[in-house]
Chain A
Amino acid sequence: MRLPKSVFSIVAIALVLTSCDDGREVSEEVFPRKPIKVVVPFGPGGDSDTFARIMQKTIRDHELLPEPLVILNVPGAGGTIGSRRVRDTAPDGYTILNLHEGILTSKYAGRVSYGPEAFRPIAGTAMSNLVICVRKDSPFENLRDVLEAAAEKPDAILFGMAQGTPTHFAGRRLEKAGGEVRFRMVASGGGAKRRNDLVGEHVDVTPFSLSEYMGFEESGVRAVAYLAAERHPELPEVPTARELGYEVVMPHVHYWWAPKSTPDAAVEKIADVLEAAMKTDYLRGKLAETKTEPLFLRGAALEKHLAEREGEFQDIALVSYEGLPDPVMPMLVIVVVLGGVIAFRWFKGRVSSVNTPVVWHHGALSCLVLTLYVISMQVAGVSYIFATMAFIPALAFVGGARSKRSIVTMAVLGMVLASACFFIFTKVLVIDLP
């Protein structure tokens, strides 16, 4: 089939449009020359995402950087999907990671084999600590009561936590600090779930992050200890664990990381910008709203702080709970048995098993076009607009559009759709389209 000229001209226009991208060289002297991508390895709306976005707004409003920060959410597997991506990216300073102590917990919980050593730390910003809570009407007056009760009757006090997160480590460290203490660990889940389980008497004690505690304070939850070096000025009545003689400190700090061999100039520049942002009234005000301390660490102080924290996690073994059923085998058996029953009936011809016929060659062709479309973007690096422009008329052709007119219509439609989506998703909604 001959494609009409207009298709080629549309393609040519698209090529020109998309090749106007930045082909500028990265230079050591001037950094940055293009937007810096900040990978937030959690979903939007969470604590990390919110902090990164407040930081982004501060830097933009105070014009601290000539180029914007772009927040990229890469959620999954406790932050390791995002951290792995940054670890393996080009170390040019244009892709950095915002990840709290999750980087340590996922290493020491055995989820991934790498920790902070796989990155170059840029800065540590903003700090709050975990708060240990009981029910409002709990018989436990303070942390000592809790730990002594757990020592007296091991495996009887239910400790709510989320598996492999700082809340889990906090429980293990409290056990260690209390001597012969053993809680019964219950993997309740995230903050809202733990609060539900605590108030509903499904667990007896659980840690909350400071911001979670601030939200739950009035709803049947009482703090017994703040896991920090000093009391929080806004919570003067809550003692630290250290005061009670238990050396457990669990800070929550937002760290910024660059890939391992990122040049000094880029790391220093980003650290400068973050430091300046932390000094602005706007950011201080935002932090005060959530009762977060405006900590800022960089360089040697940051290295020392990270080494200390790594030490805290290193000597804690997370004993995983024995005796949980593994659903994989039972489900496989069920699938095989049910599939067998259906296949047997079909074989005996008792029921017709086949639905409306599928046109196989058409299905295969559609899959092929789709696969080519995705590969062209993922592997060959074709830009989204161009790939989509070719994809839409191609799939229409497979779907039965044979006339010139309809192919051209689809090509035009494809270009409009692709350009509109590209604009909306990259410029308005900040998605990293190829």
Chain B
Amino acid sequence: MILEVLSSPSLVFLVLLGTALGITVGAIPGLTGAMLISLSLPLTFGMDGQSALAFLVAMYVGSVSGGLITATLLRMPGTPASIITTLDGYPMAQSGRAGRALGLGIGASFIGGILSWIALALVAKPIAELSTVLGPWEFFALVLMSLVLVVGVSGKSLTRGALSCALGILCALPGTAPGSGELRLTFGFSAMDDGFKLLPVLIGLFALSRVIATPPQSASEQGKVEGRIVIKLREWKTHWLNLLRSSTIGTGVGILPGIGANIGSLIAYSTSRATSKTPEKFGTGCEEGVVASESANNATVGGALVPLIALGIPGSVIDAILLGAFVIHGLQPGPMLFANEPKIVGTIISSYLWANIAMVILMLMSARWISKLARIKHHILIPIVAAFCVLGSYSLANRFFDVWVMIGFGIAGCLLERWRIPLAPFVIGFVLTPLGEDSMVAALMSSGGGWAPLFTRPMSLCFLVLAAILLFWSLRQRRAISPQSE
């Protein structure tokens, strides 16, 4: 499970290439890892199964990591996984600590990846089995908890955070209602039958809004990378508890089907903030915030691979695409995979490890060079970002409707920013609503309409109590910091 990749030069090359591609695509706002992997799936037809999976897994690792570069330097998360990183990474970069922010992010990503690799290699099977304890009620409670958390952690005002989250939920409602299968809020447009997709909404809010709002002739004076990017081992000491906790949370969240890296980093970030000695620094360029978010989002990748190779169950959207790659290459995913195809399982686990190693080397080597991005004149950078936003939204489903959605949310993002309404709760609310509503519908159908199990099922109650504690904590801290604030 460690050395399989090193057995052939072509595998080493594919892992390197996949990681590099993943980092590049992850760093470009408008293009995401899911898009890269789904679009390159046909390219792997000509390869054997082992090479194909090594290549795809490497892309997966690279894309989750690459997003931190633009999230930190430009506050444009390249992928949904890096939304939370913008909260502290960007303020750090603005205050002249871009190099350190990148170094922390890269290092934390690597450690998160390695810790979840250990979980993947050692305890994949028992962990995957345990996750079935969580049914619709528990998923619904988990979504409620995440919504409470995101309102708590973002921005200075709770009211604004809540409004943003509610708007995000509202924007996720058009389309096909999960309970009845009927259309709602589509206003008669058949293009709206599927509602708004995440990608156009995300890149509209975060990337295109910057295109619109950036004043002309501005060259960013920030983003100058000073200081060391490689962070000394000694300095990591202060972060070890945070790293361990965030990676565990990330791995755990990754294992659950349908919940992505963005939620992993959100929960880890809120937990770090709640347990921190200096919670008031979160959101203003706090090192702990970057470490928590980046270690957790990389850990979800390893976590999401656990049910995929142990049970043949995809833990995330990208894993569902990997599942397709299994089938195309004549591999039957499932519990028998360990017994029937030990070589393939070994390759996947080993390429996950080496992709993380390749990621940290490639990113550290190129960080100083990449961070010049932030110093390119905006009138050069902005048109290119805009072109990628359009291309990315279009290629999601080969239709222009998504491009218009992206432009619409770009304008909306601009207005929200102007009214100081934070964007992170909007996106998290938007992402979680389908999962939350599906779970709520299934849960209510199974109980015959009663709400009682939400509070009587132990795991579900546990999530609710946890949410209440974390919310109370962050409220109290808020009050302690500034009694006059809203």
* A111 surroundings in chain B (CB, below 8 A): 176, 181, 183, 193
Q: How far is the CA of A164 from the CA of B182 in the complex (A)?
A: 10
Binary CB contact string for chain B from 396 to 422 against chain A (1 if under 8 A, 0 otherwise): 011110011001001100100111100
* B449 lies within 8 A of chain A by Cβ: yes
| A374 in contact with B395 (CB, 8 Å) | no
Q: How far is the CA of A359 from the CA of B215 in the complex (A)?
A: 6
* B96 lies within 8 A of chain A by Cβ: no
| B175 in contact with A77 (CB, 8 Å) | yes
Q: Which residue of A is nearest B130, CB measured?
A: A200
| B166 in contact with A186 (CB, 8 Å) | no
Q: Which residue of A is nearest B438, CB measured?
A: A189
A-B contacts, 16 of them at CB < 8 A, read A45-B324, A50-B328, A53-B45, A84-B190, A187-B441, A215-B333, A217-B334, A318-B181, A324-B441, A324-B444, A338-B166, A355-B420, A392-B383, A395-B211, A398-B216, A401-B377
* B121 lies within 8 A of chain A by Cβ: no
* B313 surroundings in chain A (CB, below 8 A): 192, 195-196
Q: How far is the CA of A47 from the CA of B449 in the complex (A)?
A: 34
Q: How many A-B residue pairs have CB under 8 A?
A: 301
| A73 in contact with B166 (CB, 8 Å) | no
* A290 lies within 8 A of chain B by Cβ: yes
| B411 in contact with A46 (CB, 8 Å) | no
Q: How far is the CA of A110 from the CA of B180 in the complex (A)?
A: 10
* B2 lies within 8 A of chain A by Cβ: no
| A331 in contact with B382 (CB, 8 Å) | no
Q: How far is the CA of A81 from the CA of B159 in the complex (A)?
A: 37
| B379 in contact with A401 (CB, 8 Å) | yes
Q: With contacts A202-B135, A399-B383 known, is A77 near B169, CB below 8 A?
A: no
* B407 surroundings in chain A (CB, below 8 A): 367, 370-371, 374
* B390 surroundings in chain A (CB, below 8 A): 370, 373-374
The 3 closest A-B pairs by CB, nearest first: A45-B324, A202-B135, A76-B194
Q: How far is the CA of A185 from the CA of B133 in the complex (A)?
A: 20
Beyond contacts A84-B190, A158-B446, A417-B387: 5 other A-B pairs, Cβ-Cβ < 8 A, are A44-B321, A46-B324, A195-B311, A320-B181, A338-B159
Q: How far is the CA of A202 from the CA of B140 in the complex (A)?
A: 14
Q: With contacts A353-B420, A406-B379 known, is A187 near B395, CB below 8 A?
A: no
| B446 in contact with A202 (CB, 8 Å) | yes
Q: How far is the CA of A378 from the CA of B191 in the complex (A)?
A: 15
Q: How far is the CA of A394 from the CA of B387 in the complex (A)?
A: 12
| A430 in contact with B446 (CB, 8 Å) | no
| Chain A interface size range | 35 or more
* A163 surroundings in chain B (CB, below 8 A): 178-181, 441
| A218 in contact with B391 (CB, 8 Å) | no
The B-contacting residues of A in range 368-399, CB under 8 angstroms, are: 370-371, 373-374, 377-378, 388, 391-396, 398-399
Q: How far is the CA of A75 from the CA of B191 in the complex (A)?
A: 11
| A353 in contact with B419 (CB, 8 Å) | yes
Binary CB contact string for chain A from 333 to 363 against chain B (1 if under 8 A, 0 otherwise): 0110011011001000011011100110011
| B41 in contact with A76 (CB, 8 Å) | no
Q: How far is the CA of A47 from the CA of B45 in the complex (A)?
A: 16
* A214 lies within 8 A of chain B by Cβ: yes
Q: How far is the CA of A43 from the CA of B92 in the complex (A)?
A: 38
Binary CB contact string for chain B from 190 to 220 against chain A (1 if under 8 A, 0 otherwise): 1101100100000000001001111111100
* A20 lies within 8 A of chain B by Cβ: no
Q: Which residue of B is nearest A424, CB measured?
A: B39
| A76 in contact with B397 (CB, 8 Å) | yes
Binary CB contact string for chain B from 216 to 255 against chain A (1 if under 8 A, 0 otherwise): 1110000000000000000000000000000000000000
* B322 lies within 8 A of chain A by Cβ: yes
Minimal beta-carbon separation of A62 from chain B (angstroms): 15
| A362 in contact with B216 (CB, 8 Å) | yes
Q: With contacts A342-B163, A367-B407, A374-B390 known, is A355 near B418, CB below 8 A?
A: yes
> Contact partner of B213 among A211, A342, A363, A410, CB < 8 A?
A363
Q: How far is the CA of A428 from the CA of B42 in the complex (A)?
A: 9
Minimal beta-carbon separation of A310 from chain B (angstroms): 19
* B480 surroundings in chain A (CB, below 8 A): none
* B483 lies within 8 A of chain A by Cβ: no
Q: With contacts A196-B131, A335-B167, A342-B160 known, is A399 near B379, CB below 8 A?
A: yes
> Contact partner of A428 among B43, B314, B320, B379, CB < 8 A?
B43
Q: Which residue of A is nearest B219, CB measured?
A: A400
* B346 lies within 8 A of chain A by Cβ: no
| A321 in contact with B445 (CB, 8 Å) | yes
Q: With contacts A367-B212, A398-B216, A413-B384 known, is A74 near B397, CB below 8 A?
A: yes
Binary CB contact string for chain A from 390 to 424 against chain B (1 if under 8 A, 0 otherwise): 01111110111100001000100110011001000
* A26 surroundings in chain B (CB, below 8 A): none
Q: How far is the CA of A127 from the CA of B194 in the complex (A)?
A: 28
| B398 in contact with A73 (CB, 8 Å) | yes
* B175 surroundings in chain A (CB, below 8 A): 77
* A202 surroundings in chain B (CB, below 8 A): 135-136, 446
The A-contacting residues of B in range 279-330, CB under 8 angstroms, are: 311-314, 320-325, 327-328, 330
Q: With contacts A334-B166, A339-B163, A421-B391 known, is A81 near B312, CB below 8 A?
A: no
| B327 in contact with A50 (CB, 8 Å) | yes
* A328 lies within 8 A of chain B by Cβ: yes
> Contact partner of B411 among A324, A367, A378, CB < 8 A?
A367
| B387 in contact with A392 (CB, 8 Å) | yes
> Contact partner of B217 among A318, A395, A400, CB < 8 A?
A400
Q: Which residue of B is nearest A392, CB measured?
A: B383
* B173 lies within 8 A of chain A by Cβ: yes
Minimal beta-carbon separation of B295 from chain A (angstroms): 26
Q: How far is the CA of A145 from the CA of B319 in the complex (A)?
A: 36
| A203 in contact with B448 (CB, 8 Å) | no
* A43 surroundings in chain B (CB, below 8 A): 38, 320-321
* A57 lies within 8 A of chain B by Cβ: yes
Minimal beta-carbon separation of A323 from chain B (angstroms): 5
Binary CB contact string for chain A from 152 to 167 against chain B (1 if under 8 A, 0 otherwise): 0001001000011000
* A3 lies within 8 A of chain B by Cβ: no
Minimal beta-carbon separation of B459 from chain A (angstroms): 10
Minimal beta-carbon separation of B336 from chain A (angstroms): 5
* B275 lies within 8 A of chain A by Cβ: no
| B181 in contact with A414 (CB, 8 Å) | no
* A155 surroundings in chain B (CB, below 8 A): 448
Q: How far is the CA of A289 from the CA of B327 in the complex (A)?
A: 9
* A199 surroundings in chain B (CB, below 8 A): 132
* B468 lies within 8 A of chain A by Cβ: no
Binary CB contact string for chain B from 430 to 444 against chain A (1 if under 8 A, 0 otherwise): 000000011011101
| A321 in contact with B399 (CB, 8 Å) | no
* B452 lies within 8 A of chain A by Cβ: no
| B212 in contact with A57 (CB, 8 Å) | no
* B39 surroundings in chain A (CB, below 8 A): 44, 425, 429-431
| B486 in contact with A345 (CB, 8 Å) | yes
| B159 in contact with A342 (CB, 8 Å) | yes
Q: How far is the CA of A116 from the CA of B416 in the complex (A)?
A: 45
The B-contacting residues of A in range 33-62, CB under 8 angstroms, are: 43-47, 49-50, 53-54, 57
Q: How far is the CA of A46 from the CA of B38 in the complex (A)?
A: 10
Q: Which residue of B is nearest A51, CB measured?
A: B327
Binary CB contact string for chain B from 150 to 169 against chain A (1 if under 8 A, 0 otherwise): 00000001011011001101
